[in-house]
Structure 1
Amino acid sequence: MAAGQSLATGSDPFGSDAQSLPVRAGPCEIFATAIATGEGRYSEIGGDTMILALDGALVLGCEGREIALAKGQSAVIARGTAFSWRADAPVTLIGMRYTDAPQGDGGIVAIDNGATLAPSNPPADEVLLSEKPSCRSNNQFASLDDGQFKCGIWDSTPYTRVPILFRHTELMHLLAGKVTFTDAAGRTATFGKGDTFIIEQGARCSWDSREDVAKIYGTFKPAD
């Protein structure tokens, strides 16, 4: 989202009143939406959908339980889930929806920012310009087609690598640290704690972090 961009509010914040963002992502769409106040209900949602609160707070209800999302918190609503929502004050959200997700049992998964992390694969030696980092992750949601759409938490010690081709689209929200990306055109962007950004499938960019970084992620990667 561009700084200062305004979003229209309406009665269908996850559908017709949401603003689609122009991102190359195949059967995965990214949208932003604003809710002034109010409540609503959906009989089902058309795809596995990650919701991240950029500011304000939102309450999601499903099968007799409520999930409260404050700023910097997220959840995934599985395809076909019937749910309710409530906003007692204005809230702005960004969402990532995998429209080709297979139908399952439904439900809502709250992404736990404090979840225990397990070691995960660091970048390959041939792309690193620094010492190999220690990376950890906790994948908390995966679509039923071998996880083409995944959401969870990741962290890493500092590292620098050369530009690589992104074979996936990724929505990131930084929980800690700072990272600088440089793309194939030489454009540079630095993001820090609390920032939310998207890297498109097909982009080629570097990574440079001089401190530990932690993030919430939503990724779509087509099957090989």
Structure 2
Amino acid sequence: MTPSSYVVADALRGGDPQEKELSHLTSADERYTVGVWSAEPYAEYVTSHEGYEYTFVLEGRVTLTDADGDVHTFGAGDAFTIEPGWSGEYRVNERLTKHFAYYTAEGA
């Protein structure tokens, strides 16, 4: 895995993500990516998610709290999706490793 930088510095609320990624597939237009991503504990506030994301958690725990205050925590063996426009806190509670498929939405 190689270092990556999806977490934007001005969105970071705490922690040091130390992100790493291994890309398995990227489309020619670079809008669709499948891979593995890992991060150390951190929290960020996402103002508007830019794409469609499917996640399958391999290890660790992550908590998503949307703008309405709905809280969902996912651990190893869980899967979830995020759609374009989602906003809220994305918190990695303990070292997270996930498989993901991500498609950048039109106009993002």
- The alignment's TM-score, normalised by the length of structure 2, stands at 0.91
Q: Give yes or no for contact 2:36–2:98 (8 Å, CA) kept in 1.
A: yes
Instruction: Calculate percent identity across the aligned residue pairs.
Output: 28
Unaligned 5+ residue runs, structure 2?
Answer: none
Aligned with 1:198 (options 64, 76, 81): 81
The alignment partner of 1:126 has SS state of helix
Partner of 1:139: 23
How far apart are the structure 2 equivalents of 1:208 and 1:222?
A: 23
Unaligned 5+ residue runs, structure 1?
Answer: 1-116
CA deviation map 1:66-102 (0-9, x unaligned): xxxxxxxxxxxxxxxxxxxxxxxxxxxxxxxxxxxxx
Aligned with 1:130 (options 9, 14, 35): 14
Aligned with 1:154 (options 34, 37, 40): 37
Q: Give aligned pairs, total.
A: 107
Where relative contact order (Cα < 8 A, 6+ residues apart) is larger, the structure is 2
How far apart are the structure 1 equivalents of 2:45 and 2:102?
A: 21
How far apart are the structure 2 equivalents of 1:205 and 1:213?
A: 18
CA deviation map 1:95-150 (0-9, x unaligned): xxxxxxxxxxxxxxxxxxxxxx0000151221111133200001110122x22111
- The alignment's TM-score, normalised by the length of structure 1, stands at 0.46
The alignment partner of 2:68 has SS state of coil
How far apart are the structure 2 equivalents of 1:134 and 1:160?
A: 12
Partner of 1:23: none
Aligned with 1:167 (options 35, 43, 50): 50
The alignment partner of 1:175 has SS state of strand
Choose between structure 1 and 2: higher strand proportion. 2
Q: 1:214 to 1:161 in 2, by over 3 A?
A: same
Give the structure with higher Rg (CA).
1
